[in-house]
Each structure stands twice: as C-alpha cells, then as structure tokens.
C-alpha cells in the first residue's frame, strides 16, 4: 500500500477516535446531538430492513445459526446488534479504537457478536472463505482514498465463501476532483462498481442510486473463473416475462419519462446466473438500464427492474430480455403513457444539523428537501418577512430529481413559533410552521 494510503489510514483512525469521543451516535447516525441509546438504535431501522431483504438471497440451510456475517465499519454496533439474531457469529471491524470500545459495551449481552479494531484497509484477522454475508453502510463514503476503498473490496472477496452475498453503499456523486477528507470521502461511480464486480467474479444483482450519495450494490461471490466460463458455455435459457408493472406500484403502465419511468419485469425461470453485467432489457428496441434482480419467490418468479430509455414512444411497445447477447424470453408488451407535468414538491423541512428535531429548529439552520424542481436556483424563503441567509443547494438524487436546500435563519429572528414562506420556480409553497429554539 502506498505511503499516501498509509497516511490516510492514520488520519482515519485519529479523526474517528476524536468523533467517537465527542459524540459517536451523532457522527454515525447524523440525526441529533446527544441521542439516548434507544433513539440511536431506532435510526438503523430502515437500513436493517434493507439488509434483511438482501439476506433472502442466501442459500437456504437447515440451521441458519451456522452462518457468519461481517460488517465493514461497524462503529458502535448500531447494525450488528439487530442483525445478530440471524447469525451464529457476527463480526465487525472499525478503524477507530474508541468505536470498538463502545461496540463491545453495547454488544456485551450478545456472546456471538465480536467487534475488532482494524488497520482501516484490510480484513487480515479473518481467513479466506469465512463469511456468508458481508455488508457496509455509511463507511466507504468517508474514506478519502479510492485505493483504500478498493482494498477493502478485494479483502471482502477474499473472506467470502463461494455463494456468499455482499451488500454495500458508496458515495456515487460525480467526482469533483477535490481533495477529500475523512468526512467527505472519495466518490465511486456506478460503472466502476459494475466493472469491479465483473473482474472479480461477483454476480452483480443490484446497482441503484447511481449519481447519488447513496449508491447501493449487491453481489454474490461466484467461483474463480465463473464469468469466463459462463461466456464460453453461453447456456440456453427459456425464461418468460409473466407480467410488467410500474416499479413504483402495481399498475401495468409506465410514463415515458420522469420519476416513475421505471418498470419491473416479473420473470419465470430466470437463469440463476443472470446478472446486471451480462443481462440486458430492450424497451421499444432501446437499451434499458437494469438496476435490480430480485431473488425468486416461492412460485419461481423473479423481479428485474429497468429504467425506461429516453425517447421511448408512447403506446404499446415491445419489451425483450437478453442474456449474454441472446434473447432468453419471448417479447412482452408494455403500455407507455405520456409523462405528467413537472410540479415542485416540498417533501420535508427539518433542522439543518439535528435532523431528528424536525421543524423544531435548534441549530440556527434549516434543511428543506424538494423534488421535481426544474430550476432549484430560483428558490427563495422568508420568515416574518425577513429573507433567510446563506442558501446552499445540493442535488441529492438526479431522479426524481431531489434537492436539499440548506440555509441559515434570518439574523435577529426571535425564538418561538414562526411561519416559513417559500417560493420555488415561481410557485408559492404552502407555509410551514417552525419553532425556533434559543441558541446557547
């Protein structure tokens, strides 16, 4: 490993030890300062549900307690604790000694949960082929060096059994070519994730959140040489597209563009080895980007999600599913309708730092989240007729699109209840009641 990477690991250890001592729960969950333990663990609920869903991909066994799991970047055990019930052993590593100390305290009543201090770039404590499930959340996005991130991924491959599942999250925002630190870490693009999976005989099963801070991926480890062998034998397949629905619901139609322009193909007899790198969907003869392959249900039906390609015409269009360059199912028909008008939507208002405070503004800053804003720079806001200060706009997700707008309260605004008045793209949004708490 380069001298630069070694220096990065030292900085990561120092910075995360400092953050853990200052307020570990805040820096891990970023919800509120000084959270109590119940509230802190409650912030993990949605992430735990998403990990549980991916665990359905594990091969069925008689005794699930024989399975072993590993978390990369476990912090104080926020995810290990609820997930420990699914495994006979669960291990976590973290570069911060202080985080590991806290994790051991919180996991003291779970004898099969083990937290380990690590170097910050490898999994040297574990043997090859040790784990059935490896996962990581809100960790790689804080690592400032890409070399360290990919070192962890190569190590994950080493310690996984054949057939094991990896679920991980990266910062997939566009690379701004800036110097990254141990909070705002390096960016990893979706295409790089897909390439790494292909080069290391991982079956790529999910890749969603491209160009966002929360790029998620799921891989299954296949035996060495699997992909080369697969392409050489080009197995035949006789799948069938049973039905097509909107990926956001159960309607059998999809708009030609916009936030709901995603389809779910429900496929019977989908080959077990089908993946996003070698699979392809054609909608109206245009290549549709695949993002998700679900595990087969009890009736043998698998879900395959795809984005409607730009320029797709409205009406009834053909949908074709291909694998290794060949059709694997008879074409099906999808109904495409015109996209609706784009109207700005206010989705949330919260304190800009203590997100769990909601509209009780305790930090002097506010975070507003809006969707489908054609020109977010046209945002303006006033409180009691006074304009807000230091407006900063950040694209959190290019689709629907979603923007986070942060700003400071007007100077000399008295504590108490107030109405937040906002204008976006020439439309006056409904006023939002906020409560301003006196600053310490």
Task: Give the domains, in start order, of the chain with CATH numbers.
Answer: 3-229 (3.40.50.150), 235-337 (2.60.40.10), 345-436 (2.60.40)
Name, in order, each residue with C-beta under 8 angstroms of 97's C-beta and a sequence gap of 6 or more: 13, 17, 117
CA 313 distance to own-chain centroid: 31
- Rounded-to-integer distance, Cα 257 and Cα 417, Å: 41
User: By three-state DSSP, how is residue 347 classified?
Assistant: strand
Task: Give the tens place of pLDDT for each residue, 277-289.
Answer: 999 999 999 999 9
pLDDT for 224 beyond 60: yes
User: By three-state DSSP, how is residue 295 classified?
Assistant: coil
For residue 307, give the nearest of 250, 245, 241, 261 by alpha carbon.
Answer: 261
For residue 314, give the nearest of 289, 335, 290, 294 by alpha carbon.
Answer: 335
Helix 97-106 and helix 3-29: axis angle, to 10°? Answer: 40
Q: For the chain, what is the mean pLDDT?
A: 94
| Cβ(219)–Cβ(163) below 8 Å | no
For residue 305, give the nearest of 286, 291, 317 by alpha carbon.
Answer: 291
Q: What angle do CA 80, 83, 85 make, to 5 degrees?
A: 120
| Cβ(370)–Cβ(346) below 8 Å | yes
Element (H, E) at 436: strand 432-436
Task: Give the tens place of pLDDT for each residue, 352-369.
Answer: 998 888 999 999 999 999
Average pLDDT of the segment spanning 299-319: 97
Task: Give the tens place of pLDDT for each residue, 190-201.
Answer: 999 999 999 999
pLDDT for 177 beyond 80: no
The pLDDT of residue 175 is 86
Task: Give the tens place of pLDDT for each residue, 149-161.
Answer: 999 999 999 999 9
- Rounded-to-integer distance, Cα 155 and Cα 87, Å: 21
For residue 125, give the nearest of 117, 133, 135 by alpha carbon.
Answer: 117
- Rounded-to-integer distance, Cα 350 and Cα 362, Å: 10
For residue 144, give the nearest of 168, 163, 120, 160 by alpha carbon.
Answer: 120
């Amino acid at each position: 490993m380069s001298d630069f990477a070694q220096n990065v690991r030292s900085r990561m250890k120092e910075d995360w030890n400092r953050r853990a001592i200052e307020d570990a729960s805040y820096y891990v969950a970023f919800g509120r300062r000084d959270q109590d333990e119940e509230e802190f663990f409650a912030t993990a609920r949605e992430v735990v549900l998403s990990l549980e869903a991916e665990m359905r991909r594990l091969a069925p066994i008689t005794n699930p307690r024989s399975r072993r799991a590993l978390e990369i970047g476990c912090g104080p055990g926020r995810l290990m604790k609820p997930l420990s019930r699914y495994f006979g052993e669960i291990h976590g590593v973290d570069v911060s000694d202080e985080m590991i100390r806290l994790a051991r305290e919180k996991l003291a009543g779970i004898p099969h949960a083990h937290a380990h201090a690590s170097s910050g770039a490898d999994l040297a404590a574990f043997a090859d082929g040790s784990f059935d499930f490896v996962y990581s959340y809100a960790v790689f996005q804080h690592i400032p060096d890409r070399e360290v991130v990919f070192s962890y991924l190569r190590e994950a491959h080493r310690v996984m059994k054949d057939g094991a599942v990896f679920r991980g999250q990266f910062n997939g925002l566009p690379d701004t070519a800036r110097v990254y630190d141990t909070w705002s870490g390096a960016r990893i693009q979706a295409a790089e994730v897909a390439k790494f999976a292909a080069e290391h005989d991982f079956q790529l099963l999910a890749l969603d959140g491209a160009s966002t801070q929360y790029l998620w991926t799921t891989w299954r480890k296949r035996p060495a040489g699997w992909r080369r062998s697969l392409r050489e034998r080009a197995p035949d397949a006789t799948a069938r597209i049973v039905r097509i629905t909107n990926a956001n619901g159960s309607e059998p139609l999809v708009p030609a563009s916009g936030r709901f322009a995603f389809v779910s193909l429900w496929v019977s007899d989908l080959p077990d080895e089908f993946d996003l790198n070698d699979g392809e969907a054609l909608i109206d003869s245009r290549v549709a980007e695949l993002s998700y392959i679900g595990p087969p249900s009890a009736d043998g039906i698998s879900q395959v999600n795809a984005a409607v390609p730009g320029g797709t015409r409205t009406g009834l269009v053909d949908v074709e599913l291909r694998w290794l360059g060949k059709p694997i199912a008879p074409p099906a028909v999808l109904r495409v309708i015109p996209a609706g008008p784009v109207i700005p939507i206010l989705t949330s208002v919260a304190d800009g730092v203590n997100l769990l405070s909601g509209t009780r503004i305790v930090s002097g800053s506010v975070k507003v989240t809006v969707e489908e804003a054609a020109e977010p720079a046209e945002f303006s806001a006033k409180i009691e007729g006074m304009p807000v200060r230091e407006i900063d706009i950040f694209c959190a997700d290019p689709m629907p699109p979603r923007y986070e707008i942060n700003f400071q309260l007007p100077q000399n605004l008295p504590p108490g209840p107030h109405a937040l008045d906002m204008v976006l793209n020439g439309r006056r949004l409904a006023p939002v009641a906020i409560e301003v708490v006196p600053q310490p």
